[in-house]
Structure formats: C-alpha cells, structure tokens
A and B are shown apart, each in its own frame.
Chain A
Amino acid sequence: MRSLWQWLLPTCVIAGANQAQANGWNMPVGVTDISRDIYGLHMTIFWVCVAIGLLVFGVMFYSLFRYRHSKGAKAAEFHEHTSVEVLWTAIPVLILVGMAVPATATLKNMYDTSEADLDVMIIGQQWRWRYEYLGEDVAFNSNMSTPWEQIRGEAARGEHYLLEVDEPLVLPINRKIRFLMTSDDVIHSWWVPDLAVKQDTIPGFINENWVQINEPGIYRGQCAELCGVNHGFMPIVVHAVEEDEFEIWLAERKEAAEQEAMGVDREWELDELMARGEPVYRAICASCHQAEGQGAPPAFPALANNAQLIDDLDWHIDRIVNGVSGTAMPAFRSTLNPVEIAAVVTYTRNAWGGDTGDAVQPASIAEKIVQ
C-alpha cells in the first residue's frame, strides 16, 4: 500500500510542489525516512482534497452561473436520490480507507523505538532545552542565543534570528537515536520540522520518539506548545554530523565535564566566581528575574536589594538547589553543576550594588546537593 503514495509523490513534484517547498511555502521533505513518508502522506491527502474541491466547487459554480433566477431559470422539483447519496457516501469512505492504510504503516514505524544505538534525554524547562546523553556523562543546557537587542529592534537581525542557540544538540547521522522526553515544569513540545519529530515533553511522563538522520547538516526548530511568557524564545538546533566526528565531539565533551568536576574541590576567588556567574545568570535566571535582578512581581520576585536573600545565605542557596514548590522556580540541583550554582549565587549577592563580598565555594554547594 506504500505504492499508492509513492506513485503519487512524483506527480506532486511535477505539479511544482517541490518549487513551493524550496520557497518555504510547504512542509519540508526533511532528512529522515519518516519525514519523507510524512511528506508523501501530506501531499497525497492534499491532492485528494484539491480533486474533491475542484469537483464540488465546479458543480457549485456551474449551478450558480447556469441556474440564475435573473436569467429566468425555473427550479426543478427533485429533492432526493438515494443511489447518488449512497455513492457519495461510499466513495469518500473508500478514499479514506486508502489514506488510512499508508498512514497506519507510517505511524507504526514512528512508534518503533526499539534497538536504538544512542539514547538522548530531552528535558523541557522554562525556557530552554536540556540534553543528556544517557550513559555518556554528557549533559548540557541549550539556550536561545539571539540577543534581546535584536528582538527589541535595537540591532540588525541575523540570518537565524530566534532560531539559534548557545549549545546545539549534536547527533550522528545514520544511527538510530532514541529520544526520551520529559519536562521539569510545564508542558513543552520539542519540534524540528526537518526531522519530523514533534513530541510533547510532559512533567511526570517520559515520552519516546526516535530519529535516524540521513544527511549531515544544521536543522532548526522551536518549542511548539505554549509554555509561558518566553514560549517563542526556546529554539532547537540540531547539528547532524558524521559518525566519527560525533565520537570526537563526545570525547571532548566528556573530558570537559571531568575538568569541571575537578573544579568543585578547589578554592575559587570572588572575581573568578563573578566572571563565571554572569553568563549563567544571563542564560538561566534573567528570563524571569530580569537582566538587572529587578524581577517582575508578583510572579518573579526581585533579587537586587532583596533583604532576605542578602541576610540568609543558606536560604538563598536552598531556593536555587531545591526550587520553590508551587511556583515557577525550579530546582537547579540537576540542571546546573556545583560550580555554576556557586558562581550564580555569588553573582547575585554581589552584582547590582549588593556587594556582600561572599564568595560561595562550589564544594559547599556540592555538600548541599548531596543532602
């Protein structure tokens, strides 16, 4: 039954559908077998609709033109015709069965997540993606890198405006990659059109999906489920690379992670922590608590000149490590490493005129996380 739309696909191409696709007017064909299958289904049902539409609207407009009252048309008397009615019920049913068969096959294929070569955990967070390569000790956050000056129109917009991130998801081509998807807060939806993967990430659930990319390249997408104020600003970028290139990248990331882990045990200077904390604050905290720590009450409290925060260091650390239940403040225990938490705590206690002079040490954070 795959033959039905495999036969129809070239027809579509002749009709110039690919032209439309190249101009960004149509669904992308994509770079996986499944995305091609879906594109085929999409075009088939589209042409079926066009054909039915031409027929129905053709009869309609012919009637409107031919049987005008102003031209003296006399109304006929007929008002039912069972065989015609049965026919126009039966034909759509047959067409639908014809559509359902290839659609079922494609869907079954999409649901077959068995025998994956690599497992990647995708975690949605307000408003970034976190990727964890399971079993490889590699994990990182992926934030939008488009500067707010561009969004505000204070700087020229780049080519990949809103569709660029600081750390893309790197995947090998030609390998079956299983995605395990969940969320830390609200429902998000991870969508990359070229991969034909769209799957909700839901707190408390782990959804599965998979992809096997045929061509190396950079594929961009966005969160597809309304997830709060910055829903429009959590893009996805996937770098699909050759398999050996991927192995090299993975090894580098592992080594970097080990370096970072060693940093936990040594003593850090205040300046060092501040320098480290600022980018973390900008990437993670600023979307709610704002660039200057002024917050957006009542939902997002101010951090600058926050007396409770300045007075009680343990309380401050606890908010970040464990989150605040019942609010939008998540636990960063597993999202950020001890160095990053120590740095961002230090930063918020010393930036914007706080000047407490506290240099919070990563080692003490690591202890708190273990507790």
Chain B
Amino acid sequence: MAPKLPPQHPLQHSTTAAADGQADHAHHASPKGIMRWLLTTNHKEIGSLYLIFSLIMFFIGGIFALVVRAELFQPGLQLIEPEFFNQMTTMHGLIMVFAAVMPAFTGLANWMIPLQIGAPDMALPRLNNFSFWLLPVAFTLLLSTLFMPGGGPNFGWTFYAPLSTTYAPPSTTFFILALHIAGVSSILGAINIVATILNMRAPGMRMMDMPLFVWTWLITAFLLIAVMPVLAGVITMMLMDINFGTSFFDAAGGGDPVLFQHLFWFFGHPEVYIMILPAFGIVSAIIPTFARKRLFGYASMVYATAAIALLSFLVWAHHMFVVGLPLAAELFFMYSTMLIAVPTGVKVFNWVTTLFRGSISFEPPMLFALAFVVLFTIGGFSGLMLAIAPADFQYHDTYFVVAHFHYVLVPGAIFAIMAGVYYWLPKWTGHYPHERLAQCHFWCSIVGVNLTFFPMHFAGLAGMPRRIPDYALQFADFNLVSSIGAFFFGISQLIFVLVIVLCVRGGRKAPAQAWEGAEDLEWSVPSPAPLHTFETPPVFHRSHHGD
C-alpha cells in the first residue's frame, strides 16, 4: 500500500547539499541591481521574473477588461468609441492569453520543476534567461500599438482574416512581430522544460515517479513545440498579405479566408490545453496534500493527460461549425469533440474520489483548488453543450461562448495559478501567506467570478452576440450584473498583491515541509529555498513502491 506518489521523506542530505551550494557560490562576483536580473541564469530568479511579469500583465489585461465592462454597464455608448472598444477586447484577450496565463505557468515551471525532480537548475540556463527577456520586449511592442496612428489591433484575439489583413490598422505589422517574439519565447521555454525533465531527474527518479505537475508540463511543452510554429506560419502569411502583395487570405486574389481559421484553430485549440494542462498538474498536487490521501488514479491521470493532448489536435474545427464546413467534417469534429470530454471527465472524477474518505483541511491553496474543480467542471459542461454542432449554430459567437471560456480560464487556469502561488509561497519566501487575507481574497474572487461570468450564459442564450460595444435593451440586466461583478473581481485581486507583498516581507515562518500532507521533493529543501539547491543530486528513494 504505497502512499502518494512520488516518494516520501527522501534525502536528509539534500539540505546540507543546498547549504554547501550556497556557501560555494558566495565568492561569485554576481552583478548587482538591474544587471543581476538582466543577466540571471538561476531558475528561481527567472521563475520569479516570469511570475512578476505575468502578474503585471494580469492587471493590465484586467484594466482592459474593466474598460470593456464599464462601457457595457448600460446600453448606449457612454465612455468609449466602438473603435477603441474593439481594441480593448482584442488587447484584453491577447494580453491575458499570451502575457498573463502562459508566462505564469512557465514561471511556476521554472521555479518548481527543478525542485520537484531534484535538478540543480534548468538544463539550458542562458536560453532560459533569453526566453524570459523576450517577453517584455514582445509585449511592450504589442502595447505600444495602442498609441500608433489608426490604433492597435481591433480584430479580436482570434484575428480572423481578412479583417486582420486587408481591413486592419497599419499597426498590425507590429502586432505580428510581437506575436512572433512571444512565440519564440514560448518555444525556447518549452524546449528547455523538455530537456530538463528528460535529462535532469535525480538519480533513481524514473518518469513514472514524477509529480503530476511535471508530467502535465512535459506534455504541455510538447504541445507548445508542435503548435507555436503553426501560429508563426499563419501570422507570417498575414504579414505577406499585408506587406508583400500575396493573397493567402484575400478572396479577391484567389485566397481563402477559411484557410486562416483552419490554421489559427489548429494552433488555437491545443493552445487551450496548453493553458489548462499545467493547471491540472497543480490541482493534482494540492488536493492530495490537503486531503492527506494519495491521488486517486495517478496512472489514469497521466494517461488521460496524454489522451487529451493527442485529441486536442483533432477537434480544431469545432470553433468553425458555422463557417460552412461539409456535413461529414461537421460530424467528424462533433464526435471528436464529444470524445475529449471523456478523459477530461476522468480527471474530475479522480479529484473527487481523492477527496472521498480523505482527511480534508481548507488552507488557501486548497480553497482555490476546490473552486477550480467545481467551476472548471461548469466550464466543461458548457463546453459539452457547445460540442453539439446543431446547438452550436445558436451558441456560436454569443456571450454563451464568452461565459464558457471564461469559466475554463478564470476559475480554471487562473485559480489554479493562484492555488499554486499560495501553495508554494512558503517555499519561495519562507513565510506562510496571511491566512485571513488569503481567505478574504478567495471569497471575494469566488463571488466576483460568478457574478461576472454566470449571467453571460443567459445573455448569450437570449441572443447577445459577443464583441459588441452596445446591446439591445433586453440584455441590460445581465450586463449590469456582469459589470458590477467584474469590478468587484478586479478590485479584489489587489488583496492578492497585498498577500504576496506581505508574505515576501515577513509572516509566520514556514518549515521545509510547509504543509503537513505535502510529499514531493521540493518540500525536502529549506524554506525559503536557497538560491542553489540540489547541487549534489539527491538520492531518490523509491519508497514503498509497487503493490
């Protein structure tokens, strides 16, 4: 009867190894001030940079969302013009997807993967530095388009051609360049993660011993390597259409606007899983910890993750049910989309069964993880509804879709990130986050998220299209509630910042094993984790494995 994977109480000497490591490095003439951060190759520092960057972008993207919600507070145009409204919806989507959620997961990967597999650092530290510093460049460029003549991108984060080519503002070329840079960053980061996981596990740690966060990130990294080049391809085709007179997507020149959508969603659907698989990994670490019980069906979870990743390449055209696909294609994508619900359901069942007959406590990370399970599942249900192609003719491009993907991304991906931050903050800072404030943050977020996004289901079913700056009077009540909820949610995220700042500055001291039920390798090094850990590889005890 093996307890939770991976193994337990390893390596007393890893702490000494770490301490030695620190002593060894004391003589390094490390640069000070800004140069330290510009030149750092340390996975923990780069992880922190990623996380801080993503938090800043989360607020910038959030402000864009609040501008949108403020305009939609009432019918009529009050605050902004439709042109700027379109720029705000577009920028909100782009920033949240590419600059907030993805870098946050990469940041967590940087911090935690080496610690969880007993590696001293990432496999390619300089590349790691480069991957990060590409991001501020990319998104400064992207944000600067808002100040260019003709404004920033205004064609939605899905940038369908020809609206994003022939009819786009002049700044679109900068948008393409920014996305290229962000894409390079993602690919390099993914290569680094794959190299680290495959090559740098502690002696004795086999693939099957890895924590699920490492597993899900390994699969995510392969997804990234597979689809980011597709994105690069499609935006390069846009670049050619805009600047070099080609007609890939221009019907007047013999091009095909639908080709754009096929290419975009061939990238875009796996992208959705890129944003959710690491969340599965985080939740799969937190729930067993606070249920004090081994994760139910670890093996099934690994296999289900692989299945979801593979199926994610076969479902892209469910985003295109109303573009006029042939009937057989429509059926193919409906069936494959319905099938992807099965492995996803398996994961939810596994989490719930892990809770069953556990010994459950409700620390802040657990609160967010539990909220994740419930609210992500609600997002999954609406996803199942959207998979029914005939019904999608009514749902498509309405607020029902907006509600769906926000349920998957906000209380899904973002709650998982927050759960992970609360879970690992003691390891990063050596202090527990302020419990009362964290609880306050949680309850405000729960109320805010549901207030914002639940009414959108009704608005969409009642007939409100997405991406409109003004709406018919029957949608007024839903939008009023959503806007109030959005501001409440947005403002309550300041509590999150407060908790983090307080936690960095002080608080209740955390021991190496900060949570009673936590058993992965990262809890064997001191809290806060010293700059260099596992310089001497830990000996990984396979514990009481096997049946």
A and B touch in the complex (CB under 8 A): yes
Q: Which chain A residues have a beta carbon within 8 Å of chain B's beta carbons?
A: 24-28, 34, 37-38, 41-42, 45-46, 49, 52-53, 56-57, 59-60, 63-64, 67-70, 73-81, 84-85, 88-89, 92-93, 96, 99-100, 103-104, 106-108, 110-111, 126, 150-153, 157, 159-163, 185-187, 189, 191, 193, 196-200, 202-205, 207-208, 221-233, 296, 298-299, 325-328
Given known pairs A25-B461, A298-B150, the reply for A60 and B360 (CB within 8 Å) is no
A326 in contact with B166 (CB, 8 Å): yes
Contact sample, A vs B, 21 pairs, CB 8 Å cutoff = A38-B390, A49-B385, A63-B356, A63-B357, A64-B360, A76-B358, A80-B300, A88-B346, A100-B334, A107-B330, A110-B390, A162-B470, A203-B162, A204-B251, A205-B258, A224-B322, A224-B465, A226-B163, A227-B163, A232-B465, A232-B468
A96 in contact with B361 (CB, 8 Å): no
Q: Say which residue of B327, B360, B465 sits within 8 Å of A191 (CB atoms).
A: B465
**Distance (Å) between the CB of A312 and the closest chain B CB?**
25
**Distance (Å) between the CB of B180 and the closest chain A CB?**
23
The answer to whether the Cβ of B443 comes within 8 Å of any Cβ in the partner chain is: no
Give every chain A residue within 8 A of B374 (Cβ-Cβ).
Answer: 57, 60
**Distance (Å) between the CB of B333 and the closest chain A CB?**
11
In the bound complex, what is the Cα–Cα distance between A175 and B461 (angstroms)? 27
The answer to whether the Cβ of B435 comes within 8 Å of any Cβ in the partner chain is: no
Given known pairs A161-B472, A185-B167, the reply for A225 and B397 (CB within 8 Å) is yes
Give every chain A residue within 8 A of B83 (Cβ-Cβ).
Answer: 229, 296
Q: Which 4 A-B pairs have the closest CB atoms?
A: A204-B251, A232-B468, A207-B324, A76-B357
A56-B352, A193-B394, A231-B86 are known contacts; what are 11 more A-B pairs with Cβ within 8 Å? A41-B388, A60-B374, A63-B357, A73-B358, A77-B3, A79-B298, A81-B353, A85-B297, A153-B76, A187-B163, A298-B170
Give the contacts of B456-507 with A (CB-CB under 8 A).
458, 461-463, 465-474
Q: Say which residue of A27, A45, A204 sits within 8 Å of B394 (CB atoms).
A: A27
Q: Say which residue of B156, B162, B353, B359 sits within 8 Å of A226 (CB atoms).
A: B156
The chain B residue with its CB closest to the CB of A76 is: B357
Given known pairs A46-B385, A63-B357, the reply for A163 and B296 (CB within 8 Å) is no
The chain B residue with its CB closest to the CB of A103 is: B388
The chain A residue with its CB closest to the CB of B468 is: A232
Give every chain A residue within 8 A of B37 (Cβ-Cβ).
Answer: none
A202 in contact with B324 (CB, 8 Å): yes
Give every chain A residue within 8 A of B258 (Cβ-Cβ).
Answer: 202, 205
B75 in contact with A203 (CB, 8 Å): no
In the bound complex, what is the Cα–Cα distance between A25 and B454 (angstroms)? 12
Give every chain B residue within 8 A of A24 (Cβ-Cβ).
Answer: 462, 474
Scoring B323, B335, B370 by chain A CB atoms within 10 A of each residue's CB, the highest score goes to B323
A203 in contact with B373 (CB, 8 Å): no
Give every chain A residue within 8 A of B467 (Cβ-Cβ).
Answer: 226, 231-232
In the bound complex, what is the Cα–Cα distance between A328 and B169 (angstroms)? 11
Given known pairs A49-B381, A108-B327, A110-B393, the reply for A99 and B342 (CB within 8 Å) is no
Give every chain B residue within 8 A of A46 (Cβ-Cβ).
Answer: 385
Q: Say which residue of A60, A73, A161, A327 sits within 8 Å of B359 (CB atoms).
A: A73
B462 in contact with A25 (CB, 8 Å): yes
A200 in contact with B323 (CB, 8 Å): yes
A68 in contact with B468 (CB, 8 Å): no
The answer to whether the Cβ of B97 comes within 8 Å of any Cβ in the partner chain is: no
The answer to whether the Cβ of B441 comes within 8 Å of any Cβ in the partner chain is: no
The chain B residue with its CB closest to the CB of A190 is: B322
B299 in contact with A80 (CB, 8 Å): yes
The chain A residue with its CB closest to the CB of B462 is: A24
B293 in contact with A75 (CB, 8 Å): yes
Given known pairs A63-B357, A76-B358, A152-B77, the reply for A200 and B322 (CB within 8 Å) is yes
B348 in contact with A198 (CB, 8 Å): no
B256 in contact with A26 (CB, 8 Å): no
The chain B residue with its CB closest to the CB of A62 is: B356
The answer to whether the Cβ of B421 comes within 8 Å of any Cβ in the partner chain is: no
A104 in contact with B331 (CB, 8 Å): yes
B394 in contact with A92 (CB, 8 Å): no
The answer to whether the Cβ of B378 comes within 8 Å of any Cβ in the partner chain is: yes
**Distance (Å) between the CB of B154 and the closest chain A CB?**
7
Give the contacts of B283-300 with A (CB-CB under 8 A).
291-300
**Distance (Å) between the CB of B476 and the closest chain A CB?**
10
In the bound complex, what is the Cα–Cα distance between A196 and B393 (angstroms)? 7
Give every chain A residue within 8 A of B346 (Cβ-Cβ).
Answer: 85, 88-89
In the bound complex, what is the Cα–Cα distance between A231 and B469 (angstroms)? 9
A38 in contact with B391 (CB, 8 Å): yes
Give the contacts of B330-379 with A (CB-CB under 8 A).
330-331, 334-335, 338-339, 341-342, 345-346, 348-349, 352-353, 355-361, 370, 373-374, 377-378
The chain A residue with its CB closest to the CB of B326 is: A111
Interface 0/1 of B62-79, CB less than 8 Å to A: 000000000000011110
Give every chain B residue within 8 A of A299 (Cβ-Cβ).
Answer: 150, 169
B163 in contact with A96 (CB, 8 Å): no
Scoring B78, B327, B352, B396 by chain A CB atoms within 10 A of each residue's CB, the highest score goes to B352
The answer to whether the Cβ of B512 comes within 8 Å of any Cβ in the partner chain is: no
A70 in contact with B361 (CB, 8 Å): yes
A88 in contact with B345 (CB, 8 Å): yes
In the bound complex, what is the Cα–Cα distance between A325 and B250 (angstroms)? 11
**Distance (Å) between the CB of B321 and the closest chain A CB?**
9
The answer to whether the Cβ of B384 comes within 8 Å of any Cβ in the partner chain is: yes
B377 in contact with A53 (CB, 8 Å): yes
Give every chain A residue within 8 A of B468 (Cβ-Cβ).
Answer: 222, 231-232
B458 in contact with A41 (CB, 8 Å): no
In the bound complex, what is the Cα–Cα distance between A57 and B352 (angstroms)? 8
Scoring B162, B342, B394 by chain A CB atoms within 10 A of each residue's CB, the highest score goes to B394
The answer to whether the Cβ of B125 comes within 8 Å of any Cβ in the partner chain is: no
A232 in contact with B471 (CB, 8 Å): yes
The chain A residue with its CB closest to the CB of B76 is: A153
**Distance (Å) between the CB of A315 and the closest chain B CB?**
21
Give the contacts of B146-177 with A (CB-CB under 8 A).
149-150, 154-156, 160, 162-163, 166-167, 169-170
A160 in contact with B358 (CB, 8 Å): no
In the bound complex, what is the Cα–Cα distance between A80 and B5 (angstroms)? 13
Q: Say which residue of A126, A161, A203, A229 sits within 8 Å of B257 (CB atoms).
A: A203
Given known pairs A79-B295, A96-B338, the reply for A200 and B324 (CB within 8 Å) is yes
**Distance (Å) between the CB of A344 and the closest chain B CB?**
22
A67 in contact with B331 (CB, 8 Å): no
Give every chain B residue within 8 A of A49 (Cβ-Cβ).
Answer: 381-382, 384-385
In the bound complex, what is the Cα–Cα distance between A73 and B467 (angstroms)? 49
